[in-house]
Amino acid sequence: MKVLNSQKLAAGILVAACVLFLCPSQGRPEALSLEKALVRAGLSKERAQYIHARVAKRLNPENQNVLVKTLSSFRTREEVEIWSQKLLEGLAKHVPPPLLLNRLQVYAEDVKWAYTLSASLLKSTPPTYTVKALVDALYRTPDNNRALLERFFSQVQKHINQLNPHQLAQLADVAGLMCEAGATQQDLERMLRKITSSGKIREKELYRYEKRILQGIKKGFSFQEIMIRMDNPFTGEGTNSPGTTGTKLMQEMPEQFVPGGEMGVPTQIPTKKDKFHHNIP
């Protein structure tokens, strides 16, 4: 009897071992597949493990499978890097899983769009910050209007032969700010004509645009109102003639917002050696 029990026990162990051998992922299939999917998408093993560890704390296997499916749509490692940052951000901000998954899927499409556009404009692999700047511009655009930005940036190619990543990122910043303030396609193109009138992008003027539009938005002015204040100092052809709404509004503006005023904009433009960008009014 005792021998029989031992044989049954041994047989049971053998069967269990066979089951585990044949189905090694039985206990944790999704967890492994997410990590593998991240590695397959181009991330390092360490990075994939780190992200997986963070994800596993918040998302169940079913939700992790949604991430795996999203990952499979990416074409480059850069796209995955940007998307995974957004994933980590959502986890850190304790975004509810259903909302997190939904937004990450949308964000994945936005990242792919921005990557393709910036790679096309630069004719090379764009740096992460340029792609992110384009995504940001898209997010500032009402209804995520990709067509609006695509038309604007197609104008960039017409005007400028060589566009560096920084210029593209800053153009995206300005375009995004303008869209947030309510600018139209014509407004964007008008701005582009001004800053490229010399044949190449004038970074100094681009920088001034960015600072002034930001100030205008923060002070609650519409894009048209902001433009009225921006025309004169840059081109002398503004619509700010006596008696117009512009003049009236200008009188209501703080002194620092009067055309030609510096508004806290540094008079010295950053050098190539040590550029530092933090848009604080």
In the complex, the residues that contact other proteins under the rule CB under 8 A are 50, 54, 85-86, 88-93, 95, 99-100, 103, 106-107, 127-130, 132-133, 136, 139-140, 166, 169-170, 176, 207, 210, 214, 218, 264, 266, 268-281
Work out the number of other CB atoms within 10 angstroms of the CB of residue 96. Answer: 10
Whole-number Cα distances in Å, 129 to 134, 149, 259, 277:
9, 17, 31, 12
CB 149 within 8 A of CB 171: no
Helices (H), 41-96: 45-56, 61-71, 77-92
CB 171 within 8 A of CB 154: no
Q: Quote the least distance from Cβ 95 to other proteins, whole Å.
A: 5
Q: How many CA atoms lie within 13 A of 252 on its CB side?
A: 11
Q: Which is nearer to other proteins, 170 or 196 (CB)?
A: 170
Q: Which is nearer to other proteins, 198 or 271 (CB)?
A: 271
Q: Which is nearer to other proteins, 135 or 160 (CB)?
A: 135
Q: Which is nearer to other proteins, 109 or 150 (CB)?
A: 109
Q: Which is nearer to other proteins, 112 or 132 (CB)?
A: 132
Q: Which is nearer to other proteins, 151 or 204 (CB)?
A: 204
CA distance 184 to 186: 5
Q: Which are the contacts of 162, defined by CB distance < 8 A and separation ≥ 6? A: none
Listed residue (37, 17, 39) closest to 29, CA to CA: 37
Q: Quote the least distance from Cβ 212 to other proteins, whole Å.
A: 13
Q: Quote the least distance from Cβ 266 to other proteins, whole Å.
A: 6
Q: Quote the least distance from Cβ 107 to other proteins, whole Å.
A: 5
Type of residue numbered 151: R
C-alpha angle with apex 249: 244 to 254, nearest 5 degrees? 145
Q: Quote the least distance from Cβ 89 to other proteins, whole Å.
A: 5
Q: Quote the least distance from Cβ 237 to other proteins, whole Å.
A: 26
